Amino acid sequence: MRQSNRESAGHVARRASIENSLLAAVPRKEYRRLLAGLEPVTLTFGEVLYEPGETIRHVYFPGASLVSLLTLVDGHLGLEVGLIGREGMVGIPLVLGHNVSSVRALVQGSGTAMRMASARFRKEFRLSLPLQQELYRYTHTLMAQISQTAACNRFHVVEARLARWLLMTHDRVKSDQFRMTHEFLGHMLGVRRVGVTKAAQALQKRKLISYSRGDIIVLDHRGLEAAACQCYEVVKDMHDGAQAGYAMRKMRISAAA
Amino acid sequence: MLAPHTPKQNHLLAALPAADYERLLSHLELVPLELGWALYESGSQQGYVYFPTASIVSLLYVMHDGSSAEIAIVGNEGVVGIALFMGGETTPSRAVVQSAGYAFRLKGSLLKGEFERGGPLQYLLLRYTQALITQMAQTAVCNRHHTVEQQLCRWLLLSLDRLPSSELTMTQELIANMLGVRREGVTEAAGKLQAAGLIHYSRGKITVLDRPKLEARVCECYAVVKRESDRLLSRKTAIVDQLS
């Protein structure tokens, strides 16, 4: 009974895990070993995976889910500094030899993920050179994203940043309609609620979105692209580039085998 | 006045066990870092990594339209050139000398080899990378929510922690570029700090006169970055000894 449960969990895991590009890039033999320590989970919008200063219990490899990294100041003001989807892993401090998160990790898009307990992850990470290489490279991509976000926040107006943020979400949730409160968006964009209201109204007036009581409907994706800052393209290229990179290295590995 | 230059003035290098330090020593080359000099341009390949001893290097993200924002500073606590060992082919940021001084540099290929040995140097470089990520994220949120004066205080204190002296060789124009604000904003903020007797500014040199008062004015972002750096890097000697 116990055995068959494990097997069926393993089966589900095998299918779900292909969604994450980092896991997909690890050679098959090593991946099989990783799989025994991976657990498929469903992450729901608003769930907090880490708080700043807390010990990290699990790392997460998102599949269809999307996780936002937030830095908080003055007790209530926040700012999104990174966004992790199927191209990445939540829990990078463990890769860098540290077990405490310095940011809040908040689920921004519900969906599947694979998770692994921290102790197990440390062990697997030490054992697998390909996993190390993929994760170091990914960490560097994430740093590029944090830098880029910092610059975007500095120079671009709220309306353009809101448009970019809605596009990034729209690309991932694969639905034209999603729920976002003003407060949530304020945290993401690092502005007060009234700033979010103004920007959302401006986009609504241009018939790019419809916004009412936290329900957002994207009406014109192309139009939103024109309204967004260039950073939308930059981050999209970064993510697409990372995914293409994994695929290429994977091809090289299988060709060499 | 200054002690002779030695790589041990950089805290990462100083934390290495003797055997690892000796192995690197003959490859470390002392270079003067002139104010405003770019160690790397965004998108370029990196030939060397730099371990600052008495200088501050600013990492700037450059937008498509050419405007740039500072995302972190590196001094004697760290190393410039993370991309080399993290496996990123190029750097997304520009690295510019913000306070003139010195650094020891090491060939990129050599550092990559050392990193791949997986010993104490790798351990130190990774922990430093975590501290750098925290600094980058905190700088982003600080730029968003805090005043120019608070940001200037944060910048001065972080720089002081990364320099052997209390004097910075730099210009207001560079500070303005770095904080991504207009020069007048920096002049005003620096003027206030000078009038209050916290700093002295003259001819491209900033001297910090009253550090405790500067700490009283700064936003929480300074403490967050400092705490994380201390936690990750200060006990490193003991940890490295344990490892080896």
Domains of chain B: 7-243 (2.60.120.10)
Q: Give the pLDDT mean for A56-70.
A: 93
Backbone angles phi, psi at A194, to 5 degrees: -65, -30
Confidence of residue A239 (pLDDT cuts 50, 70, 90): low
> Among the listed ranges A51-65, A83-97, A172-186, B55-69, which one has the minimum average pLDDT value?
A172-186
Instruction: Kindly report, residue by residue over B97-117, the tens digit of the pLDDT.
Output: 988 999 999 999 999 999 998
Residue A162 and residue A139 in one domain: no
Q: Is residue A256 part of a domain?
A: no
User: Does residue B162 carry a pLDDT above 70?
Assistant: yes
Asked if A68 and A115 touch (Cβ cutoff 8 Å), the reply is: no
Q: At what angle do helices A158-173 and A193-205 cross, to 10 degrees?
A: 80
Q: Is residue A243 part of a domain?
A: no
Q: Which of A169, A158, A148 is nearest to A227 (CA)?
A: A158
Q: Give the pLDDT mean for B84-101.
A: 84
Question: Which CATH number characterizes residue A183's domain?
Answer: 1.10.10.10
- Smallest Cβ–Cβ distance between B87 and the set A92, A133, A151 belongs to A133
Confidence of residue A215 (pLDDT cuts 50, 70, 90): confident
Residue A86 and residue A185 in one domain: no
Residue A15 and residue A124 in one domain: yes
Min distance B129 CA to chain A CA atoms (Å): 7
Q: Of A101, A118, A146, which residue constitutes the final position of a domain?
A: A146
User: Does residue A3 carry a pLDDT above 70?
Assistant: no
The pLDDT assigned to A249 comes to 66
Backbone angles phi, psi at B80, to 5 degrees: -105, 125
Q: Is residue A152 part of a domain?
A: no
Is B171 an 8 Å CB contact of chain A?
Answer: no
Single-letter amino acid, residue A255: A
User: Does residue B237 carry a pLDDT above 70?
Assistant: no
Min distance A194 CA to chain B CA atoms (Å): 15
Where would I find the H helices in chain A? 2-17, 21-25, 28-35, 92-95, 118-127, 129-155, 158-173, 182-189, 193-205, 221-227, 231-256
> Among the listed ranges A15-19, A158-162, A223-227, B4-8, which one has the minimum average pLDDT value?
A15-19
Is B127 an 8 Å CB contact of chain A?
Answer: yes
- CB count in 10 Å sphere of residue B124: 26
Confidence of residue B197 (pLDDT cuts 50, 70, 90): very high
Chain A residues touching B130 at Cβ < 8 A: 92-93, 96-98, 102
CB contact under 8 A, A73 and B139: no
Residue A100 and residue A217 in one domain: no
CB contact under 8 A, A150 and B68: no
CB contact under 8 A, B140 and A71: yes
Q: Is residue A248 part of a domain?
A: no
**ipTM summary value:** 0.85
Q: Is residue A30 part of a domain?
A: yes
Q: Is residue A235 part of a domain?
A: no
Confidence of residue B205 (pLDDT cuts 50, 70, 90): confident
Q: Give the pLDDT mean for B149-175.
A: 86
Q: Is residue A93 part of a domain?
A: yes
Give Cα separations from B73 to A192, B31, B64, B125 (angstroms).
29, 18, 22, 16
Confidence of residue A50 (pLDDT cuts 50, 70, 90): very high
Residue A186 and residue A223 in one domain: yes
- Smallest Cβ–Cβ distance between A137 and the set B86, B132, B221 belongs to B86
Question: Which CATH number characterizes residue A85's domain?
Answer: 2.60.120.10
Confidence of residue A16 (pLDDT cuts 50, 70, 90): very low
CB contact under 8 A, A97 and B82: no
Residue of B nearest to A230 (CA): B64
- Smallest Cβ–Cβ distance between A151 and the set B69, B123, B228 belongs to B69
CB contact under 8 A, A73 and B221: yes
CB contact under 8 A, A147 and B59: yes
Residue A72 and residue A12 in one domain: yes
Chain A residues touching B132 at Cβ < 8 A: 143
Residue A34 and residue A140 in one domain: yes
- Domains in chain A, number: 2
The pLDDT assigned to B150 comes to 92
Q: Is residue A241 part of a domain?
A: no
Min distance A69 CA to chain B CA atoms (Å): 9
Chain A residues touching B136 at Cβ < 8 A: 81, 143, 146-147, 150
Residue A93 and residue A130 in one domain: yes
Mean of the per-residue pLDDT values of chain B? 87
Chain A residues touching B68 at Cβ < 8 A: 151
∠ CA B44-A139-A104, nearest 5°, is 130
Residue A117 and residue A59 in one domain: yes
Give Cα separations from B197 to B185, B192, B201 (angstroms).
19, 9, 10
The pLDDT assigned to A252 comes to 60
- For the whole model, what pTM was predicted? 0.86
Residue A138 and residue A213 in one domain: no
Domain that holds residue A223: 157-228
Instruction: Kindly report, residue by residue over A103-137, the tens digit of the pLDDT.
Output: 999 998 889 999 999 999 999 999 999 999 999 99
Residue A29 and residue A129 in one domain: yes
- Smallest Cβ–Cβ distance between A147 and the set B93, B126, B138 belongs to B93
Q: Which residues in chain B (199-238) have CB-CB distances under 8 A to chain A?
A: 219-221, 224, 228, 231-232
Residue A140 and residue A199 in one domain: no
